[in-house]
Amino acid sequence: MGWNSWNRFACHVNEALIRSAADAMVSSGMRDAGYSYIVIDDCWQGERDAKGFMAPDAKKFPSGMKVLADYVHAKGLKFGIYSDAGTKTCGGFPGSHGYETQDAQRYAEWGVDYLKYDWCNTDKQDAPSSYLTMSKALQASGRPIVFSLCEWGNTKPWLWAQNIGNLWRNTGDIADRWDGMDPNGYSMGLLKIVDMQAGLEAYAGPGHWNDPDMLEVGNGGMTDNEYRAHFSLWAMFAAPLIAGNDLAAMSPATRDILLNKEVIAVDQDSLGVAASRVWKDGDAEVWVRPLKGGGRAVVLLNRGLTPREIGVSWEQLRYPDHLVAKLRDLWLHKETGTATARTSAVVAGHAVVMLTISP
């Protein structure tokens, strides 16, 4: 859980922005809700020195990365950074290819806690071996650093990355839209990414997670109902909750979504089992996630525009029909009674109802 600069600010990063994000993560209550990582994405880089060590852009980050990391750590937060497995990053800055050991050493010296590692300008490199090289360099650095693989799912990292990194992207970049492709031609709407999660739940678990990309909540391209669906589904997927909005300028609605502690608790459930799509009929879907203690988290998703009644059966929950279970609505923050065999709700268009169902 944390924040990354890319979705809202892209290449427009600097020291003041990162300090402001750290301040806002604390003042908004996000830190206390479990968010911890402040991650600078692409475009922070300057040049390598004569010995090959990387330095930040001195105009953007005049105090240097060690001082900035210390500032973030002093807030009770963790500090993350970005690089690329190729010769250049996606933004055209120096990549880590051939400099993995030096870069890992420098990140450790700076106090980095998280590395997002991209896949631009990699030519004929092999993804598993390239990521393994940086993984070994990070492990040899003497500092525990979360390793986030970002090759967009092209080589099915869920099949090979479990012992290399802690999380791996399994889709292309997210776009701030409900469905379809962004006009840029490569980033995709929420529902396209949701569909790509079906069938990958078996590969997620404690210490190795599927990553359907960062959150767009609060960036303005979707409605609040759509953003609630976005946040709910990411929690169901046991996905990283990496906010991507302007933390210092959140609307009350955005803050309420990102700070919904009941939904966060589903995401962070210690059983670590990701949701399965157990039913689909046109625009209506049911996703179920087992929780520690025997309960279930359920999302009733309406992809269409028209309100629709959507139900879930106890058979889909793998409960006996006679079992009496308590229902709680995680967006209404209230118990909604008990049920046996089945329950249903009317779900607004482009929205979800998110429940916990507990014996």
- Domain residue spans in the chain? 2-267, 276-358
CA distances from 30 to 35, 168, 260, 348 (A): 6, 24, 10, 28
Beta bridge partners of 39: 4, 80
Which parts of 51-126 fold into alpha helices (H)? 65-74, 100-110
Strands 37-39 and 78-84, by their bridges, are parallel
Tokens representing 2 are 């944390």
Matching residue, tokens 């120096």: 94
Catalytic (active site) residue 32: no
CA distance 229 to 262: 14
CA distance 328 to 310: 16
Tokens representing 148 are 């986030």
The burial of 210, by beta-carbon neighbours within 10 Å (0-12 exposed, 13-18 middle, 19 or more buried), is given as buried
H or E stretch covering 346: strand 342-347
pLDDT at 184: 85
Cβ-based neighbour number of residue 199 at 10 Å: 11
Phi and psi of 53, rounded to 5°? -80, 140
Catalytic residue among 118, 176, 213, 246: 118
Residue ranges of the chain with pLDDT lower than 50? Answer: none
Q: For the domain bounded by 2-267, which CATH number is listed?
A: 3.20.20.70
Residues whose CB falls within 8 Å of the CB of residue 225, separated by 6 or more in sequence, listed in order: 348, 349, 350, 351
CA dihedral 276, 232, 213, 295 (to 10 degrees): -40
Q: What is the DSSP string of 267-325?
A: HT-TT-PPPEEEEEETTEEEEEEE-TTS-EEEEEEE-SSS-EEEEEEHHHHT--TT--E
Tokens representing 11 are 């290449």
CA distance 331 to 314: 22
pLDDT at 11: 98
CATH of 276-358, one of 3.40.50.720, 2.30.110.10, 2.60.40.1180, 3.40.50.2300: 2.60.40.1180
The pTM for the full model equals: 0.98
Tokens representing 157 are 């990292």
Strands 284-290 and 296-302, by their bridges, are antiparallel
Tell me if residue 93 falls in helix, strand or coil.
coil
Catalytic residue among 42, 103, 113, 173: 173
pLDDT at 185: 84
pLDDT at 81: 98
pLDDT at 177: 98
H or E stretch covering 31: helix 30-33
pLDDT at 186: 87
Hey, what amino acid is at 51? K
Beta bridge partners of 184: none
To the nearest 10 degrees (0 to 180), the angle between helices 190-197 and 224-236 is 20
Beta bridge partners of 297: 289, 356
Catalytic (active site) residue 41: no
pLDDT at 209: 98
